[in-house]
Amino acid sequence: MKYKGSLTALAIFFMTVFCCTNRVFAHCDGMDGPVVKAAQKALESGNANLVLIWVKKADEAELKRAFQKTLAVRKLNPDAKELADMYFFETLVRIHRAGEGAPYTGLKPAGRNLGPAIPAADKAIVDGNVEPLVKLLTDTVGNGVHEQFKHVMANKNYKADDVKAGREYVETYVTFVHYVEGLYEKAKKATHGHYSESEQGGVHKE
């Protein structure tokens, strides 16, 4: 069905869009996020290349210096190791986020609620199967469009002299159109790096 195919295409766009919105800010600076996990592997193996991929080329030298300092200090004793590791995690995440134009507000604890999309995206990569993620996003987009459309249709057939009802229709109409516009603009917009909070909404205000 053409409608279903269109939603699937839109969902695929949303995979690239939503993975770089504000929720992923938390994903990247979380203790259980991919950046810290890469740092843990790099420190245990002594291979800085495992974390250099998370920073811009211009930031390589700074990160390498921090990496070597961390390796030296963490050998002293368990307490020093813990402090050195945390120093490196913070340095890496700070540099990574600065390179993507995102602020650094400290490392966040593991186990936070990131919603369904980010864990599903990570699972898709681990499993090598994107279809469950596509279904999640397709269903979410489809349900949202249907819900907004339902509100418009419920208010559409108002009496011409009922100004109050007419305004209610206009409100639902504007909300619906801006919702659809936001979906379309997000899908059309090429994604690179992180988005600021002001870009996250993607819809115009009346």
Cβ-contact 58, 65 below 8 angstroms: no
pLDDT at residue 179 is higher than 80: yes
- pLDDT (tens digit, 9 = 90+) per residue, 28-72? 888 988 999 999 999 999 999 999 999 999 999 999 999 999 999
Structure confidence at residue 192 (pLDDT): 52
* Residue 80, pLDDT above cutoff 90: yes
Q: Strand, helix or coil at 30?
A: strand
The amino acid that residue 104 corresponds to is Y
> Are the beta carbons of 57 and 50 closer than 8 angstroms?
no
Number of neighbours of residue 2 by Cβ within 10 angstroms:
6
135-176 pLDDT per residue, tens: 998 899 899 999 999 999 999 999 999 999 999 999 999 999
- Cα–Cα distance for residue pair 69/51, rounded to 1 Å: 15
Q: What is the pLDDT of residue 204?
A: 33
Higher pLDDT pick, 198 / 110: 110
Of the candidates 6, 8, 2, which has an alpha carbon nearest to the alpha carbon of residue 132? 8
Helices and strands counted in the chain (H then E):
10, 0
Greater confidence, 18 or 187? 187
**pLDDT in the model for residue 26:** 52
pTM to 2 decimal places: 0.64
Whether the pLDDT of residue 9 is over 70: the answer is no
pLDDT surpassing 80 at residue 201: no
Q: What are the angstrom distances between the C-alpha of 127 and each of 6, 14, 34, 114, 158?
A: 25, 19, 16, 19, 51
- CA 134/CA 13 separation, integer angstroms: 10
Which pLDDT score, from 0 to 100, does residue 121 have? 87
- What integer is the mean pLDDT of 62-91? 97
Confidence at residue 180, expressed as pLDDT on a 0 to 100 scale: 92
Number of neighbouring beta carbons within 10 Å of residue 90: 17
Of 204, 202, 205, 206, the residue nearest 187 (C-alpha): 202
In the chain, the N- to C-terminal Cα span, in Å, equals: 34
Encode pLDDT of 95-129 as tens digits. 999 998 888 989 998 888 888 888 898 899 899 99
